[in-house]
Amino acid sequence: MGKTLFDKIWDSHVITDLGNGFVLLHIDRLLLHDMSGGKSLKEAIEKGYPPSQPRLIYGTPDHTMSTKPGRTEHTHPPGLPLIKSMRETTSAYGIKLFDLGQDGQGIVHVMGPEQGLTLPGTTLVCGDSHTSTHGGLGALAFGIGSSELVHVIATQTMVQRKPKRMRASFEGKLLPGVTAKDMILHLIGELGTAAGTGFSVEYAGSAVRALPAEARLTLCNLTIEMGARTGMVAPDDTTYEYLNGRDYAPKGAMWDRAVAHWRTLPSDPDAEFDREHTIDMKNVAPQITWGTSPEHVIAVDRAIPDPGTGPEEKRGAWEAALKYQGLEPGKPIEGTKVDWVFIGSCTNSRLSDLRAAAEIVKGRHKAEHVTAWVVPGSVRIKSEAEAEGLDRVFTEAGFEWREPGCSMCLASNGERVPPGQRSVSTSNRNFVGRQGPGARTHLASPAMAAAAAIKGAIADVRKI
């Protein structure tokens, strides 16, 4: 029987079979961020287990750093001990830190692919649930907890149980206004947030093959919102073009050898999956979430759902979500007044995302009552965007152009949507209080978020 992409990477990283379904896996890359990086390194060192492979570990501060223009490490004081601890522990072992203000600093899931640290066929972990993002380049990547983090630091290995395999195939062409963000939100809407529990997901089909590399990262980013820890897209020429020449990607003869190996990775035609799901792209329209879970999602031209007509077991959750969000069932979601717009996060802060938003914004102005932020995913993206004048497109339209970091995705750097206010956000979670206590979040693509800022309300990007 043929092997899946997942099986091939998994099998080539098994060091030993531990029995009862568990194996010891080699980990090719460990990425660290400020919320847990310094703390875990310190813990490992204090326990007498210093990093065994410091050259396979890379870090950057993102979660607790202010993104205020001109920020320093002092702008948000609670982040200061975290960045200091990261610096002390990484420098003691020669671990590469992309520090604040340096080229390479950014959201950890933006930095890895951008630097060419994320490579097809490799295993990559990070103490962060959105590590699935890196699967967009054909890496087997997943988020880990704090005790696992210490284990990887100490041994560069992990004990893991093999998940089941799911394939989600998106077939056909993307309709106007539809992006990778809409594809994954639509899928989560169809399957629910628990569908992926215990599975690794491969995204396939003609629509996925046609996606640029950055869009594939967006697609894989929300895998955890479907309950699966890892999601991936088979590497192909699009992947190689994206990676070729990046700082940490192989060079010269090594590059050729690597590509020859990577070409063997896609799932074999006779590979079997435990679950298959096919999505016809004709049914995928621009999406917007209405509730407090990523599965609470509808096409933007639909009405806010009525809990009375929903599945029995979800009725209570729907009612609570509508109450929190201050929405009335049966009314069109389009036209719902918006106070904040956040364009950023590891989901949608790459250059292509900023370009897509700028295309909508160009020559227009945000609605007066809206506060709109653009937070590039990394220092490099910020300077590339500035080189093509995107910052001016945004600032002339009344948007704020900020420094790289997680910012208002999680609000762990103090940047929050005020209580009761409504935000359209390009991030990946719309949980209660996610963007600040009492904040109401609607997830959407960068173009949809830009359209909301211009209209001052939830808007259909196709009508702008």
Ligand X SMILES: CC(C)[C@H](C(=O)O)[C@@H](O)C(=O)O
| Among positions 35, 228, 285, 322, the unique one binding ligand X when judged by CB under 6 A | 35
Residue 116 or 127 with smaller CB distance to ligand SF4:
127
The span from the CA of 280 to the CA of 414, in Å, is: 41
Residue 109 or 181 with smaller CB distance to ligand SF4:
109
The minimum distance between CB 49 and ligand X, in angstroms, equals: 21
293 binds, among ligand X, ligand SF4, none (CB under 5 to 8 A by kind): none
Q: Tell whether residue 76 is a contact of ligand X (CB under 6 A).
A: no
Residue 107 or 454 with smaller CB distance to ligand SF4:
107
| Among positions 408, 410, 424, 450, the unique one binding ligand X when judged by CB under 6 A | 410
143 binds, among ligand SF4, ligand X, none (CB under 5 to 8 A by kind): ligand X
The minimum distance between CB 376 and ligand SF4, in angstroms, equals: 12
Q: Which stretch binds ligand X (CB under 6 A): 12-20, 21-29, 53-61, 124-132?
A: 124-132
Comparing C-alpha atoms, which of 355, 340, 347, 338 is closest to residue 457? 338
Q: Which stretch binds ligand X (CB under 6 A): 125-133, 176-184, 396-404, 418-426?
A: 125-133
Residue 63 or 165 with smaller CB distance to ligand SF4:
63
35 binds, among ligand SF4, ligand X, none (CB under 5 to 8 A by kind): ligand X
The minimum distance between CB 165 and ligand X, in angstroms, equals: 23
Q: Which stretch binds ligand X (CB under 6 A): 128-136, 203-211, 243-251, 449-457?
A: 128-136
The minimum distance between CB 404 and ligand SF4, in angstroms, equals: 10
Q: Tell whether residue 31 is a contact of ligand X (CB under 6 A).
A: no
Q: Are 442 and 422 in contact (CB under 8 A)?
A: yes
Comparing C-alpha atoms, which of 51, 44, 31 is closest to residue 91? 51
Residue 139 or 327 with smaller CB distance to ligand X:
139
Q: What does the H/E/C string look like for the chain?
A: CCCCHHHHHHHHHEEEEEECCEEEEECCEEEEECCCHHHHHHHHHHCCCCCCCHHHEEEECCCCCCCCCCCCCCCCHHHHHHHHHHHHHHHHCCCEECCCCCCCCECHHHHHHHHCCCCCCCEEEECCHHHHHHHHHCCEEEECCHHHHHHHHHHCEEEEECCEEEEEEEECCCCCCCCHHHHHHHHHHHHCCCCCCCEEEEEECHHHHCCCHHHHHHHHHHHHHHCCCEEECCCCHHHHHHHCCCCCCCCHHHHHHHHHHHCCCCCCCCCCCCEEEEEEHHHCCCEEECCCCCCCEEECCCECCCHHHCCHHHHHHHHHHHHHHCCCCCCECCCCECCEEEECCCCCCCHHHHHHHHHHHCCCCCCCCCEEEECCCEHHHHHHHHHCCHHHHHHHCCCEECCCCCHHHCCCCCCCCCCCCEEEECCCCCCCCCCCCCCEEEECCHHHHHHHHHHCECCCHHHC
427 binds, among ligand SF4, ligand X, none (CB under 5 to 8 A by kind): ligand SF4
The span from the CA of 348 to the CA of 355, in Å, is: 11
Q: Which stretch binds ligand X (CB under 6 A): 18-26, 50-58, 123-131, 452-460?
A: 123-131
CB atoms within 10 A of CB 332: 13
Can you name the residues that pair with 443 across neighbouring β-strands? 425
The minimum distance between CB 202 and ligand X, in angstroms, equals: 22
Q: Tell whether residue 63 is a contact of ligand X (CB under 6 A).
A: yes
The span from the CA of 239 to the CA of 192, in Å, is: 29
Q: Tell whether residue 300 is a contact of ligand X (CB under 6 A).
A: no
Site size toward ligand X, by CB under 6 A: 7
User: Six-digit token pair at 375?
Assistant: 């937070």
The minimum distance between CB 131 and ligand X, in angstroms, equals: 8
Q: Tell whether residue 128 is a contact of ligand X (CB under 6 A).
A: yes
Q: Which residue is nearest to ligand X (CB)?
A: 129
Q: Tell whether residue 130 is a contact of ligand X (CB under 6 A).
A: yes
CA torsion sign, 29 to 31 to 36 to 37? positive
Q: Tell whether residue 109 is a contact of ligand X (CB under 6 A).
A: no
107 binds, among ligand X, ligand SF4, none (CB under 5 to 8 A by kind): ligand SF4
Amino acid present at 16: T
Residue 4 or 230 with smaller CB distance to ligand X:
230
Which residues lie near ligand SF4 (CB under 6 A)? 62-63, 107, 109, 128, 130, 345-346, 406, 409-410, 427-428
Residue 145 or 389 with smaller CB distance to ligand X:
145
The minimum distance between CB 246 and ligand SF4, in angstroms, equals: 21
Q: Tell whether residue 143 is a contact of ligand X (CB under 6 A).
A: yes
Residue 57 or 298 with smaller CB distance to ligand X:
57
The minimum distance between CB 410 and ligand SF4, in angstroms, equals: 4
Binding site for ligand X (CB under 6 A): 35, 63, 128-130, 143, 410
